Amino acid sequence: MARPPLPLETWGKIRRVRLNGVPTAIAYYRDSDGVTRKAQRSAKTEALAEQKLRVALRDRLTPSAEYLTRESTLSELARQWMQQVVDAGKAPATVARYQSTISKHVNQSVGSLRIREATVPRLDRLVTRVATTSGPAQARMLAVVLAGMLQLAVRHGAAESNAAAELRPPAVERSEVRAPSIDDIRTLRTALQAYDRIPGIRGDSVHDLADLADVLVATGCRIGEALALRWDDVSIDDGRVTISATVTRIPGRGLERQEHPKTESSNRTLALPSFARDVLVRRRVAAYSEWVFPSANGTLRWPENVRTQWASALKGSTVAWITTKSCRKAVATLLKATDGLDAAKEQLGHSDVGVTSRHYVEQVLERPNRAAVLDAFAQSSE
């Protein structure tokens, strides 16, 4: 019975011999074209000869940078996966998050592992450690990145299955939705108007949180979407605004307008209530930049800086718990109560009502009074 061939791109047993009195190591390897070839190396000792042969075989069978095998490192796999992510046209902010995760958690911790060594237990320990040291959100992002990387390895034939698909990252802890009421929003507007009237420490500092809040509750848009608005996106005569972008920060480049919002369904044109229309008319007259809500020098503003200023403005007030995201919840909860869940979903730019219902609409515990109907169970049949 014929001996079965070596697995592709592997070598068999290494023999130590002496050829013409010189210590030599010999092995047969099956090359990437399927042909079995002989390899040998000589040195001062048999051990050194074997070591040289192993290095030569490894270099021979280790793929080039653009070809993946089971012996490729996870760092190389990550690099090639990231290139595919970029080529696919992913949003710059998403690319930056993926790259940050790879730099912090893949390259530093498991980057030197071979693809064949990326087992479920090893990856699970990594994700668990990241959850403990960096938080559940980072662990979930790491799981997403690993799953994408190893799916690429499967496509290249460098892995039989996607080990990361078996990971169970920490679950998202869902908290009860708290949406500001109409009275809360009125109090919010009053508090922000009072803050805006306080002179800033710097003479050129921008105090326009009340205007920004009015646009947020008038549209239900995200803070990044509001700060990315240009006057070209606003039709004051028609009383409409088009949401088609968001603000993002690109490492090494700074703030940029990402020419699409968070999701495809987030692209939307919304009718403005009269109070928001009045705000935009006033701001248009005084505009000094292409942006609707520019910085003091007419550039884009970073959402995180606005959130910090917002928290400072509300500190100590009864509405200090309200964030810019809370305004979206207020819009969703009001529209759900008046026009239904579909209306709330469309206004916020969600792809399905599940996201709107779970994360943005405050649940009403009180149900309609049906006690009289249920009394029928206890009524006498006579």
From the number of C-beta atoms within 10 Å of its C-beta (0-12, 13-18, 19+), residue 331 rates as buried
Three-state secondary structure call for residue 225: helix
Residue-averaged pLDDT of the chain: 89
Mean pLDDT in residue range 240-253: 87
Mean pLDDT in residue range 32-60: 88
Phi-psi group of 239: left, alpha or beta (phi > 0 → left; psi -120 to 50 → alpha; rest → beta): left
Q: Which pair of tokens denotes residue 116?
A: 């064949």
Domains of the chain: 10-61 (no CATH), 74-166 (1.10.150.130), 182-359 (1.10.443.10)
The predicted pLDDT at position 202 comes to 61
Q: How far apart are CA 315 and CA 179, in angstroms?
A: 18
The predicted pLDDT at position 380 comes to 73
Who's near 216: CB < 8 A, 6+ residues apart? 223, 226, 324, 327, 328
Q: Half-sphere exposure (CA, 13 Å, Cβ side) for 48?
A: 6
Please give the distance of CA 182 from its chain centroid, rounded to a whole number: 32
pLDDT digits (tens, 9 = 90+) for 78-118: 999 999 998 888 878 788 889 999 999 999 999 999 999 99
Mean pLDDT in residue range 149-172: 89
Residue 130 pLDDT greater than 90, yes or no: yes
Residue 173 pLDDT greater than 80, yes or no: no
Name which of 216, 212, 236, 215 is nearest 295 in CA terms: 212
pLDDT digits (tens, 9 = 90+) for 186-236: 999 999 999 999 876 665 678 899 999 999 999 999 999 999 999 999 999
The predicted pLDDT at position 146 comes to 96
The predicted pLDDT at position 382 comes to 61
Q: How far apart are CA 85 and CA 244, in angstroms?
A: 22
From the number of C-beta atoms within 10 Å of its C-beta (0-12, 13-18, 19+), residue 179 rates as buried
Residue 141 pLDDT greater than 80, yes or no: yes
Reported as a pLDDT band with limits 50, 70 and 90, residue 240 is very high
The predicted pLDDT at position 42 comes to 93
Bridge partners, 269 (sequence order): 242
Contact between residue 267 and residue 350 where contact means Cβ atoms under 8 Å apart: no
Which carries the bigger pLDDT value, residue 17 or residue 60? 17
Bridge partners, 234 (sequence order): 241
Contact between residue 323 and residue 310 where contact means Cβ atoms under 8 Å apart: yes
The predicted pLDDT at position 59 comes to 76
Q: How far apart are CA 235 and CA 251, in angstroms?
A: 33
The predicted pLDDT at position 205 comes to 73
Who's near 159: CB < 8 A, 6+ residues apart? 70, 115, 116, 118, 150, 153
The predicted pLDDT at position 288 comes to 93
> What angle do the packed helices 136-155 and 74-87 form, to 10 degrees?
90
The predicted pLDDT at position 355 comes to 87
Angle at CA 326, nearest 5°, toward 321 and 332? Answer: 145
